[in-house]
Amino acid sequence: MKPLRLEDILFSQGFGTRRVCAGLVQQGYVWVAGQEQSDPGSLFEPEGLVFKVQGQEWPYQERAYLMLHKPAGTECSQKPSTWPSIYTLLPSPLRTRPQKAAVQGVQAVGRLDQDTTGLLLLTDDGKFIHRMSSPKHHVPKVYEVTTKHEISDDQIANLLAGVVLDDSPKPVKAAACERVESTHLRLTLTEGKYHQVKRMLAAVGNRVEGLHRSAIGNLQLPQDLAPGQWRWLSPSDLEKYFKASNTALG
């Protein structure tokens, strides 16, 4: 990767227009390698670069890949109808990273209902979102389900055999189904339909009282990532995810 002007680096990371980014540098708000910067045209190798803007540290990311622990009572929408948007949980630069598409910033890879908690991935890589949203990849997603009634052996058998939903001509099957406790089910799905877990449990005569996504592929939600918090995906995180999806980044 060739060296880039500092104002272009800031622009690519979502810190505003190039004029705004140049102003941040000229006003002394940008530091690189412990040195205050004053020239927006200074050249830096972007790969591996860590800089500070107004005292906050930022790593350069050619593409942004991150995980969010989605809390209850939030919507996976830029324009929520009732509940606060998950995007308000992210710092401004992640929401305004420039893209060729009309929508700026990182976007959620799939959605979770407003009352569902757990692991959510976000990125500004449109090809990645399209590729991972394709049903042909069958990326497994693990849900911790709290049910209203005790879970019977017959219900587990029916979930594994497949249940008929009103919008699917074929029975929808769980890839795995484990009763953790009498009203706690660990359910693995490889496709994503509207309210799928809730409708599948209703189809076998039970009801979802709580729903939490704990994993996507081999990528687990970290125990130290509290609801509402986010973090960058590490190279090992991405490797786990892409290994499970049988595809590659790029």
Active site residues: 113
Chain Cα centroid distance, residue 77: 12
Q: Which two tokens stand for residue 55?
A: 């005292």
Residue 43 pairs in a beta bridge with 5
Task: Give the residue carrying structure tokens 């991405």.
Answer: 238
Which amino acid is located at 158 in the chain?
Answer: N
- What values do phi and psi take at 141, rounded to 5? -125, 130
Q: Are 72 and 114 in contact (CB under 8 A)?
A: yes
Q: Are 105 and 96 in contact (CB under 8 A)?
A: yes
One DSSP character per residue, 116-129 reads: -EEEEEEES-HHHH
